[in-house]
Structure 1
Amino acid sequence: MPRYLYLVRHAQSAEKQVNQNDFGRELTSTGVKQALLVGNYLLQQQIMPDVIMTSTAERARMTASMIADALKTDIEKINLQEDLYEASTRTFFQFITQLEDHLHHVMCVAHNPVVTYLAEYLTGAEVGDMVPAGLAIIKFNIQSWKEVSQGNGELENYITPEMLTP
């Protein structure tokens, strides 16, 4: 049975204010709409992640929450991961290869540039610069997440909120 990784860059966030911690930046109203569009797209495609792993930064947490709301899924599926905030490509890759094998559909909400680098590293496809709320759907024909390696994923789709706007 194939395994799917749904890499999501957090939706549009407010600019960092003077004396504000980057970690606490929230989504803008546009960002909320973007995350809901992505969640609605997933719902229409009947894609239901087993778990939503998210960076603990507020903008990523909010993005994960909005997607979960649109999917009408249990908020308990959201799993906060400190390692995904400011993760290197190597750290993120190790995180994926250590996923539990009973999970077949895993969403990770994190930050650029690592989500772009990782999508390209895993698939060999050129994604460019993932936009806010960009979604890379990656399919692996493997038995275990431990088998994930450079180029053995297939980029099934790359979706941007602009593509989903009526």
Structure 2
Amino acid sequence: MASRLFLLRHAKAGWALPGMRDFDRPLDPSGIADAAATGIAMQACNFVPDLTLCSSAARARQTLEGIAAHADTGRTVFLDSLYSEDAAGYLKIIQQSGATGSLLVIGHNPMLEDLAMAIATEGENHARANLHAGFPTSGLAVIRFANPLATAALGQGFLEAFLIPGEL
């Protein structure tokens, strides 16, 4: 059974105010607009996850809100671990998610970029060029697997698309 993984880096956040934890940084106005544009693009492309795993950090939660205003994001689970895990930890979370068809992960860099590069070694040329140029805020990697996400592994994904704010 084929599956699809959507890896989304949170939208652009403002700098932390004095005394504010990095975890609590909110989106800035361009981040709010980019999250909405990503949601509109997801809806237009019919990128609909069965389940969304979202970092509990404020900027990730606000990104989800911006997307969900325009697109179906399925059932949502918030995880503190998506703020602190490395790429290998992200892969383990994805494998254990229980998602059967498609999964959206809203998280942080460098974990998302490292993971996308490691699992999607093949893909559409334009998408691969965009990914190799870096994983910007509001960037969305769409990765297809021939098997369920429970068995997702390095080098087994195919990068179908890589949406970036400048192209939406």
Instruction: State if a TM-score over 0.5 links the two structures.
Output: yes
Q: Is the 8 A contact 1:135 1:160 kept in 2?
A: yes
Secondary structure, aligned partner of 2:115: helix
Secondary structure, aligned partner of 1:17: coil
Q: Which amino acid aligns with 2:3?
A: R
Secondary structure, aligned partner of 1:85: helix
Residue 58 of structure 1 is matched in structure 2 by 58
2:133 matches 1:135: no
Secondary structure, aligned partner of 2:49: coil
Q: Aligned equivalents of 2:107 and 2:98: distance in 1?
A: 19
Q: Which amino acid aligns with 2:14?
A: A
Q: Which amino acid aligns with 1:116?
A: E
Superposed CA deviations along residues 111-161 of structure 1, whole A, max 9, x for unmatched, are 00000000001112562320000000000000x323211100000111101
Alignment of 1:1-166 (within 5 A): 1-71=1-71, 73=72, 77-101=75-99, 103-124=100-121, 127-128=131-132, 129-142=134-147, 144-164=148-168
Q: Aligned equivalents of 1:133 and 1:120: distance in 2?
A: 17
Q: Give the total of aligned pairs.
A: 160
Q: CA RMSD in A?
A: 1.5
Q: Aligned equivalents of 1:64 and 1:108: distance in 2?
A: 10
Q: Which amino acid aligns with 2:65?
A: S
Q: Aligned equivalents of 1:124 and 1:45: distance in 2?
A: 22
Q: Which amino acid aligns with 1:135?
A: L
Q: 1:45 Cα shift?
A: 1.1
Q: 1:99 Cα shift?
A: 2.0
Q: 1:78 Cα shift?
A: 2.1
Secondary structure, aligned partner of 1:149: coil
Q: 1:17 Cα shift?
A: 2.1
Q: 1:18 Cα shift?
A: 2.1
Quote the sequence identity (%). 27
Q: Aligned equivalents of 1:79 and 1:38: distance in 2?
A: 20
Q: 1:77 Cα shift?
A: 2.1
**Unaligned stretches of 5+ residues in structure 2:** 123-127
Q: Which segments of structure 1 move beyond 3 Å, counting only runs of 4 or more?
A: none
Q: 1:13 Cα shift?
A: 0.2
Superposed CA deviations along residues 38-68 of structure 1, whole A, max 9, x for unmatched, are 1100111122111111000000011011111
Q: Is the 8 A contact 2:98 2:150 kept in 1?
A: no
Q: 1:86 Cα shift?
A: 1.9
Q: Aligned equivalents of 1:88 and 1:68: distance in 2?
A: 26
Q: Aligned equivalents of 2:49 and 2:56: distance in 1?
A: 18
